[in-house]
């Protein structure tokens, strides 16, 4: 099923998301490309993408460029490997569609179950609880999607918190699999549905940002911040962790699976705290500056000196050299307006 998600994602990008993006006038161009330079390209590909001060000084003498121009070249060279706004819009639209579907499905399924209204029902008759077809489908679809996310993370937009996200996907896949094998699926459905709620708003905020609908993006981001913090710092520990740490122990006593399950849930809570810090930080900027500031997880590097696009030579006669990098603002407007800290 994970392969089906990969296939469906590519079809969705090409035949649904891309036409929608073009209709909304989402930019198809990516970050500005660095000026071709054989020496710097060799260093970039064969030695390092982040040269230290000593290497920068050596390159500065060799090319007769100042250090800031060389730093700018490496920054633009790193950025040009990043995807365009169009690609990012398509990715967000695919995830938005999935999260909206699976969250709606989860709500419709759970509102008919007794454990939604009384978490102690999660443990009645355990472990001899029947695996209902709807619950089985819900679990398999969620597990397959997170498997696809874990693999696609290596080819999708690479964020600064790649390690944290990879850890999250590992914990999530392990948690879903472990709860399915040990038949702890009732509380698992509650956890899945609770997490999907914020992700729907997050992807909507990203799409609004890529469409340059700043006010809508800001509103959606602040809505996401509220939903995320309430659900993951409030409802999750008071509802999910309370029943797994205390009600489960009271109902069934001590057994090995209980500790493994709770350990994974607590790790998930730690990740929630980390992302909540980033979200609160971004929300504070949004309130203090009147709009959502650049994404702390942005895949595009920026600098305050991006307006300066021609490498400054050490000698006056070489200020018109073609070794510079042209274009205004360095990254074609990709430096601002990014909303949303992580996604899960």
pLDDT band per the 50, 70, 90 thresholds, residue 148? confident
Nearest 5°: the CA angle 229, 230, 232 is 65
Is 155 inside any structural domain?
A: yes
Task: With a cut of 90, say whether residue 175 has pLDDT above it.
Answer: yes
Report helix, strand or coil for 313: strand
Query: 293-304 pLDDT, tens per residue?
Result: 444 444 544 444
Is 254 inside any structural domain?
A: yes
pLDDT at 90: 84
190 and 259 together in one domain: yes
206 and 69 together in one domain: no
140 and 277 together in one domain: yes
Is 327 inside any structural domain?
A: no
pLDDT band per the 50, 70, 90 thresholds, residue 143? very high
pLDDT band per the 50, 70, 90 thresholds, residue 34? confident
User: Which of 277, 292, 307 marks a domain boundary?
Assistant: 292
48 and 192 together in one domain: no
Is 323 inside any structural domain?
A: no
pLDDT band per the 50, 70, 90 thresholds, residue 245? very high
Q: What is the pTM of this model?
A: 0.73
- Burial string for 153-168 (b: 16+ CB within 10 Å, else e) reads beebbebebeebbeeb
142 and 56 together in one domain: no
Contacts of 52 (CB under 8 A, 6+ apart): none
pLDDT at 159: 66
Query: 265-322 pLDDT, tens per residue?
Result: 999 999 999 999 989 988 888 777 765 544 444 454 444 444 344 444 454 333 333 3
236, 275 contact by CB (below 8 A)? no
Percent of the chain with pLDDT over 90: 40
Which CATH number do you get for residue 55? 1.10.10.60
Q: Which of 24-33, 75-84, 141-150 has the lowest mean pLDDT?
A: 24-33
59, 5 contact by CB (below 8 A)? no
121, 115 contact by CB (below 8 A)? yes
Cα–Cα distance between 88 and 86 in angstroms, integer?
5
pLDDT band per the 50, 70, 90 thresholds, residue 99? very high
Domain that holds residue 252: 85-292
pLDDT band per the 50, 70, 90 thresholds, residue 182? very high
Is 181 inside any structural domain?
A: yes
Cα–Cα distance between 323 and 251 in angstroms, integer?
72
Is 335 inside any structural domain?
A: no
State mean pLDDT over 9-31: 61
3-state DSSP helix/strand/coil % of the chain, to nearest 5: 65, 0, 35
First-to-last CA distance in the chain? 21
User: Which of 81, 102, 120 marks a domain boundary?
Assistant: 81
Domains held by the chain: number: 2
> In degrees rounded to 5, what are phi and psi of residue 217?
-60, -45
Contacts of 111 (CB under 8 A, 6+ apart): none
pLDDT band per the 50, 70, 90 thresholds, residue 262? very high
State mean pLDDT over 323-334: 33
Task: With a cut of 50, say whether residue 225 has pLDDT above it.
Answer: yes
144 and 166 together in one domain: yes
pLDDT band per the 50, 70, 90 thresholds, residue 70? confident
């Amino acid at each position: 099923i994970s392969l089906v998600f990969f296939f469906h994602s590519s079809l969705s990008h090409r035949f649904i998301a891309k036409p929608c993006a073009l209709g909304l006038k989402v930019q198809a161009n990516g970050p500005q490309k660095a000026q071709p330079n054989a020496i710097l390209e060799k260093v970039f590909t064969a030695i390092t993408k982040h040269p230290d001060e000593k290497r920068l000084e050596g390159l500065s003498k060799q090319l007769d460029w100042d250090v800031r121009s060389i730093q700018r070249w490496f920054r633009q060279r790193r950025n040009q490997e990043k995807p365009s706004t169009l690609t990012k819009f398509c990715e967000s639209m695919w995830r938005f569609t999935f999260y909206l579907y699976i969250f709606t499905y989860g709500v419709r399924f759970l509102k008919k179950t007794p454990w939604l209204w009384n978490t102690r029902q999660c443990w009645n008759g355990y472990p001899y609880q029947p695996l209902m077809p709807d619950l089985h489908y819900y679990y398999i679809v969620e597990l397959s999607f997170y498997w696809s996310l874990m693999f696609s993370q290596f080819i999708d937009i690479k964020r600064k918190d790649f390690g944290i996200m990879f850890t999250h996907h590992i914990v999530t896949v392990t948690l879903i699999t472990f709860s399915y094998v040990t038949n702890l699926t009732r509380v698992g459905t509650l956890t899945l549905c609770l997490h999907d709620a914020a992700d729907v708003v997050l992807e909507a905020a990203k799409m609004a940002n890529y469409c340059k609908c700043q006010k809508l993006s800001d509103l959606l981001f602040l809505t996401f911040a509220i939903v995320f913090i309430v659900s993951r710092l409030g409802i999750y520990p008071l509802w999910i962790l309370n029943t797994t740490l205390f009600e489960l122990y009271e109902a069934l006593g001590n057994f090995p699976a209980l500790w493994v399950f709770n350990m994974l849930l607590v790790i998930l809570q730690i990740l929630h705290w980390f992302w909540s810090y980033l979200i609160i930080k971004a929300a504070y900027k949004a309130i203090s500056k009147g709009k959502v500031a650049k994404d702390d997880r942005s895949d595009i590097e920026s600098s305050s000196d991006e307006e300066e696009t021609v490498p400054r030579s050490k000698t006056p006669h070489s200020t018109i050299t073609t070794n510079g990098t042209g274009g205004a603002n360095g990254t074609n407007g990709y430096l601002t307006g990014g909303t949303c800290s992580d996604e899960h």
